[in-house]
Structure 1
Amino acid sequence: MDQEQNKDQTYQTYEIFNSVEVQKRQNLKEVKQDQELIQENILQDEDYLQHEQKTIFQINQASKFQSDLNKEVEEPKIMTQIQRQVKQKENNKKEKFLVEEIQIKTTQINKVQENQLKTENGLLFIQAQQESKLILNPIMPKLNKNIQEDYVNVIFGLYKIYDEQIPKEVFISSIYNQHQLEAQITENNVNISNQLSKFLSGFRKIKSDPNSFFAALSFQFFQIALKQQNQSQFENDLSWIQNLNIAIKTRQFIIDDNYFQNHQNYFLQKIQEIYVSRNPEEQLEQIMNDRQSQFYGLSIIYFRNLISQLIIDENSDKNEEAEEIKFWENSLSNANNIFELLAERLKIQIHEYNINKQKSQVYKQIYGDDTERQIHLLCLDEHYDIGISKF
């Protein structure tokens, strides 16, 4: 009997001990889980704080949010799962707000910088050129300290654009006779030769580049002006040059409009010297082909700007077309549209001979009424040469 009582007591003691032991282990397990959860929360919070700080430092106006984050660091790191989720949502909202603010600020800054660059770009470019810190290509003209003289070097730079491609071709040739006209222009096409021979006795070949129309037009117009019988008529023919606002453009380098201030004085002085010479036409041909003179370049620039201005005066909506004409590399497309304007403005009569080799036809059109002041233009595939009239 005593033995069984002792056995029961021993068993009860063991159960109590075992229960206590189990409870201890359970408590230890829960404590360990809590510690792991706390550690996980701490790591997540630290990762999040690092991410927030990277975003905050991108703008200067984030100091308030940084202060809030610093306060959060000081708060107890042990949070319940619900508290952590709530805090995460709040921080996400703040982060989204900051990102949007950064984007707005960046857009505003970019717009200001873009406007500032548009204003300062020309001056910075000129300064870089003058300090020899910027070389765009081999034909980039050297610029001097004196901006009034720089247009000379700019014009020489314009010459080089096509001299690199066609180095030996003159701007305007001497007169070729009827047989040379048939061989070079009509390529001995009998129908075309017969049609041209009714009106022309020869031609002057113009350099094969986009300036052919302007060269053919300017050379013949100056021929007309140089034939004037008195000084006042001669000056009147050239008076429009003084009133032009000059701009010339190229896709090879930037040209400042200030380069061409007072350039008319040089040009008018040169053509005055030609006017009083013994053989004005010969002198004109020489100076137009002189690559050490800016006379040819200025002639092209003047007539490009004149045509540009005539287009604007006729229709202000054609500003884009008018600006394109100012590019040295651009040929004059649809020249027929401006022939009437030129004839009226310069008091000339333009004879255009448009050659169509496929149809073996020459289409002749006349613009203007002044038969005493004629200009003859041979047009083949948008290239222009000078026609020598039989009459």
Structure 2
Amino acid sequence: MINEILSMIVLVIIAFFIAIIIKYAIDSYMMEQESSKDQTYKIFNTNELQKRQNLKEIQQEQELIQENTIQNEEDCNDNQQKTIFSLNKISTPISNLNQSNQEQPNFDKNSKQEKQIVNKKSEKFLIEDIQIQTTQFRKPFENQIQNENYQLFIQSQEESKLVLNPIMPKLAKNQQDDVRNWILSLYNIHDNYNPDDVFISQILNQNQIEKELGVNNQRFSMKLRENLIGYRKVKQDPNSLFAALSFSFLENALKSPNLNQLENEMSWIKTMNLVIKSRSFLIDEKMFQNHQVYFLQKLLEIYQTEYPITQLELLMNDRQSQFYGLSIIYFRNLISLLLNNQAPSEHQEAEEILYWESDLSDANKIFELLADRLRIQIHEYSINKLKGQVEIKIYGQDDDRQIHLLCSDEHYDIGIGMND
């Protein structure tokens, strides 16, 4: 009996716990369902709010576009009205004129004439008014341009005074005097070297060569004496090579048997497009065009004198003459042209050689070109004072006419050959 009672109690307890567990499970399930519904509702609300917000923005944009369209139409209408009003205002005299032309023929001639006079006056006043308005518009604009140009002119003039004043050439009323002033200013650039020296000296003897060069080596002296009987000293500046070349070439040209031969020798000058530059002041590149006539005329004049070589020396040393400067300009341009015709690597050197202040860093590369172009033989005597040596190089095949150049420390003098 006791056992049965115990069994019943155990069953009741087990049933009680089972009931509690079932109730807990049911409650948990119901809570999960409620939570799921809440989450779904929140998502739905969020999406719905976003849709409403987007719809509101679209409506605002459409309203803004509509407002802009209306405003543009109103502005367009205003402009059209203004344009129509302006056209009507301008065309009023013309319409009046047309109206007067279409009046009935019962008007007498005096009435027609009066109307025509009135209409013409109206047209005149309208045209004058337009001209006045146009002038009033253009005048401030033109004044502004003139003021700006004047300020730029003053500025450049002041800068020129600061930079170019020491040797700035004075411009004259005619081009011939301008060229002379430019060249005289070029002469002044190198006067800081040896201002009292002549460009080309008289002929000096062999002893003076050795004294000038400070040569004590007997072999050195003997080698010079074997080839030269004297020399001409060239002014010590970056133009020494070009001066030596030009004087020697002109000296050979003046030995031509007749004028036709002389003109043939100088024909290359007529074909040159001349350019000269300076780092000291600005030069108009067109300034030296068409001055070959002056140069060749001077050469023809001294050719017909009794002692043309002496006259050439005097003319080359005349510091008030253009002749020396033009001869340098011709040979600088000729060498620049020859270098330009070589490899592209020579183009920079060709441009540099056009500056009056520049010398030629490596003259040997142009001697062969010059000898071939001028049909003349060039003898170069490279003098090494330290070693007491003379290296002689000959360029060109035509030995009927020769140029002798003494080179010492990159300075060139003119040698006088045995046959000169």
Q: TM-score range with shorter-chain normalisation?
A: 0.5 to 0.7
> How big is the shift at 1:188?
3.2
Q: How does 1:99-114 map to 2 (within 5 A)?
A: none
> 1:363/1:186 Cα in 2 relative to 1: closer, same or farther (>3 Å)?
farther
Q: Which residue of 1 aligns with 2:288?
A: 260
Q: Is structure 2 residue 386 aligned with structure 1 residue 352?
A: no
> 1:148, 1:261 within 8 Å by CA — same for their partners in 2?
no
Work out the CA distance in 2 between the residues paired with 1:186 and 1:352.
Answer: 19
Q: Which residue of 1 aligns with 2:71?
A: none
Q: Does 2:324 correspond to 1:296?
A: yes
Q: Distance in 1 between matches of 2:191 and 2:398?
A: 36
Structure 1: gaps of 5 or more residues: 1-119
| Equivalent residue, structure 1, for 2:225 | 197
Q: Map Cα deviations across residues 260-282 of structure 1 (whole Å, 9 max, x no partner).
A: 12211110110010111111000
What's the counterpart of residue 41 of structure 1? Answer: none
1:124 CA drift (Å):
6.6
Distance 1:346 1:161 in 2: 29
1:173-232 Cα deviation digits (max 9, x unpaired): 000011111111243333321221111111100000000000111001001111111211
Q: Counterpart of 2:170?
A: 142
For residue 133 of structure 1, report the CA deviation from its aligned partner.
6.4
| Counterpart in the other structure of 1:330 | 358
How far off its partner does 1:135 sit? 6.1
In structure 1, what is the equivalent of residue 273 of structure 2?
245
Candidates 339, 347, 353, aligned match of 2:367: 339
Question: Which residue is 1:282 aligned to?
Answer: 310
Structure 2: unaligned runs, 5 residues or longer: 1-148
Cα distance in 2, alignment partners of residues 380 and 231 from structure 1: 36
Aligned to 2:243: 215
Q: d(CA) in 1 for partners of 2:328 and 2:379?
A: 20
- 1:151 alignment partner in structure 2: 179
SS of the equivalent of 1:255 reads: coil
Q: 2:336 aligns with which of 308, 322, 325?
A: 308
The SS at the match of 1:258 is coil
Q: What secondary structure, in the 3-state scheme, does the structure 2 residue paired with 1:141 have? A: coil
Q: 1:287, CA displacement in angstroms? A: 0.2
Contact 2:405 2:414 in 1 (8 A): yes
Distance in 2, Cα, partners of 1:250 & 1:133:
16
2:190 is the alignment partner of 1:165: no
User: In structure 2, the residue corresponding to 1:203 is in which secondary structure?
Assistant: strand
Whole-Å separation in 2 of the counterparts to 1:345 and 1:201: 27
- Look up the equivalent residue of 2:184 and give its one-letter code: F
Counterpart pick for 1:227 among 255, 258, 265? 255
Q: Distance in 2 between matches of 1:345 and 1:390?
A: 24
Work out whether residues 356 and 380 of structure 1, in 8 Å CA contact, stay in contact via their aligned partners in 2. Answer: yes
Secondary structure at the counterpart of residue 165 of structure 2: coil
What one-letter code is carried by the residue in structure 2 that aligns with 1:229? P
Deviation of 1:317 after TM superposition, in Å, equals 4.1
What pairs with 1:24-35 in structure 2 (closer than 5 Å)? none
- Displacement of 1:148 in angstroms is 4.9
Q: TM-score w.r.t. structure 2 length?
A: 0.61
| SS of corresponding position for 1:309 | helix
Q: SS where residue 341 of structure 2 aligns? A: helix
1:150 is displaced (CA, Å) by: 1.4
Larger relative helix fraction: 2
Q: Which residue of 1 aligns with 2:213?
A: 185
Aligned mates of 1:139, 1:312 — CA distance in 2: 31
Q: How is 1:22-171 mapped onto 2 (pairs within 5 angstroms)?
A: 128=157, 136-171=164-199
How big is the shift at 1:352?
0.3
**1:134: how far off?**
7.0
Equivalent position to 2:391, from 337, 360, 363: 363
Q: Compared with structure 1, are the counterparts of its residues 148 and 175 closer, same or farther at alpha carbon in structure 2 (3 Å cutoff)?
A: closer
Displacement of 1:166 in angstroms is 1.4
Equivalent pair of 1:137/1:252 in contact (CA under 8 Å): no
Report how far residue 323 of structure 1 moved. 0.6
Q: Percent identical across equivalent pairs?
A: 59
Contact 2:276 2:355 in 1 (8 A): yes
Does the 8 A contact of 2:340 with 2:347 survive in 1?
yes
Contact 2:184 2:322 in 1 (8 A): yes
SS in 2 for 1:137: helix
Q: How many residues align?
A: 269
Per-residue Cα deviation, 1:225-271 (whole angstroms, up to 9, x for no partner): 11111211110110111111111111100111121122111101100
Highest CA radius of gyration, 1 or 2?
A: 2
Using the alignment, how far apart are the partners of 2:153 and 2:185 within structure 1?
20
For residues 73-113 of structure 1, the C-alpha deviation after alignment (integer angstroms, 9 at most, x for no partner) is xxxxxxxxxxxxxxxxxxxxxxxxxxxxxxxxxxxxxxxxx
Deviation of the 1:146 alpha carbon: 3.2
Q: Is the 8 A contact 1:148 1:260 kept in 2?
A: no
1: CA distance, partners of 2:274 / 2:153 = 22
Mapped to 1, the partners of 2:153 and 2:340 lie a distance apart of 30
Q: Is contact 2:183–2:325 with CA below 8 Å preserved after alignment?
A: yes
Q: TM-score, length-normalised on structure 1? A: 0.65
